[in-house]
Amino acid sequence: MQLSLSIPALLFPAISLTMLAYNARYLAIAALIRQLHVQFLETQAQPLKKQIELLRKRLEIIKWMQATAIASFLLAAVTMFLVYVELELWANIVFGFSLIFLMVSLVLSFIEVQLSTKALGVQLNSME
């Protein structure tokens, strides 16, 4: 496959937007954790314990989502450099890894959304 500079460059906006979305999720969860901390200190309610457990899992997943997205972004930049210095074989290999990291990041995002939905279910059950 002939890899040109424009192909890995196409990943830059996609990865940047993905990382922006991940950061927004992280900030929202951080605010929620602070809010739940105050509630938990006041009530020690069991549903809050379950939500806190799910939030820990979500934070860990978001950390890995961000790490793999950053790795994908970095490898796309390295690919562009390798294309520039005309190392086609290495450019193709590195670009393949960049795509793999992007796919891993998206799979982790899917898992995190599932946990988020589960956490909302816990909250809804506690209100019934």
128: pLDDT strictly greater than 70: no
pLDDT for residue 33? 75
Helices (H) and strands (E) in the chain, counts: 4, 0
The closest of 34, 99, 106 to 64, measured between CA atoms, is 106
Enter the DSSP assignment of 126. Answer: H
DSSP tag of 86: T
For residue range 52-88, what is the model confidence (pLDDT) as tens digits?
788 889 889 999 999 999 999 999 999 999 999 999 9
d(CA 68, CA 16): 12
Residue 56 CB partners (closer than 8 Å, separation 6+): none
For residue 35, give Cα distances in angstroms to 46, 52, 96: 16, 11, 41
Q: Mean pLDDT: which of 2-11, 52-61, 63-72, 112-121 is highest?
A: 63-72
